[in-house]
Chains A and B, each alone.
Chain A
Amino acid sequence: DQQVKQNSPSLSVQEGRISILNCDYTNSMFDYFLWYKKYPAEGPTFLISISSIKDKNEDGRFTVFLNKSAKHLSLHIVPSQPGDSAVYFCAATEYGNKLVFGAGTILRVKS
């Protein structure tokens, strides 16, 4: 019973274009959502987050959008760079308790 789902195992994008990574969740009690980025042979690192009281949070080239009614969030990377190639994990938490992760999406940015 996966509460956080990333249905696209991989995504390939041309350098300079927009990358859109999607995530769906089932638990309506989740109140905070995070994106983590992972390079090979390294641990995941925090990228950007959003509270359930907001619908958008922006940090440089990265923007996260939250649609609570659809239980959907997305991460936009504009413009995409080759160094953005990594595995991206969506995660959610309820009242700061354990983080529940999705299965991850492999992003490849082609130069």
Chain B
Amino acid sequence: DAGVIQSPRHEVTEMGQEVTLRCKPISGHNSLFWYRQTMMRGLELLIYFNNNVPIDDSGMPEDRFSAKMPNASFSTLKIQPSEPRDSAVYFCASSSRLAGGPKSTGELFFGEGSRLTVL
């Protein structure tokens, strides 16, 4: 079975350019999460969706960051304009938590990450 698929795996861009990261969650999962990993802060939650609806975007650092989930099988994280401090590994994760359903254990399945370098 395919896991969470992220693209690109590596992205090098110049400051000021637009960056778009893509994610395909595991089929049947209805929750999707975007995390950012840095040396200083570890794994930070940026935003998460449930049934394609953004539930909590309080972790999105600035208005330069935006995320969409147009359907159950695709999500994007966009940074415009990008800055050197945005350099990090960005992970997408999905889970099968049911909205309003039984309490979930919260287990997430992560993609391999997109390593972003902004010069």
Asked if A104 and B107 make an inter-chain contact with CB atoms under 8 angstroms apart, the answer reads no
Count of B interface residues, CB-CB < 8 Å: 25
Check A89/B42 contact, CB under 8 A, given A43-B110, A43-B113.
yes
Check A34/B106 contact, CB under 8 A, given A44-B43, A101-B43.
yes
Q: Interface stretch among A13-21, A60-68, A71-79, A90-98? A: A90-98
Asked if A41 and B42 make an inter-chain contact with CB atoms under 8 angstroms apart, the answer reads no
Residues in B whose Cβ lies below 8 Å from that of A91: 43, 106
B69-119 contacts to A, CB under 8 A, are 91, 93, 97, 103-113
Bound together, the chains give a CA A49 to CA B107 distance in angstroms of 9
Q: What interface size band does chain A fall in?
A: 20 to 34
Asked if B97 and A96 make an inter-chain contact with CB atoms under 8 angstroms apart, the answer reads yes
Residues in A whose Cβ lies below 8 Å from that of B43: 44, 89, 91, 101, 103-104
> Could you tell me the distance in whole angstroms from the C-beta of A89 to the nearest C-beta in chain B?
6
A45 within 8 A of B: yes
A-contacting residues of B (Cβ < 8 Å)? Answer: 4, 33, 35, 40-45, 48, 56, 91, 93, 97, 103-113
Task: Please give 8 more A-B residue pairs, beta carbons under 8 A apart, in addition to A31-B103, A43-B113, A89-B43.
Answer: A43-B112, A46-B107, A89-B42, A97-B56, A99-B106, A100-B45, A101-B43, A103-B41
B-contacting residues of A (Cβ < 8 Å)? Answer: 6, 31-32, 34, 41-46, 49, 89, 91, 93, 95-104
What are the 3 tightest A-B residue pairs by CB atom distance, in nearest-first order? A96-B104, A43-B110, A103-B42
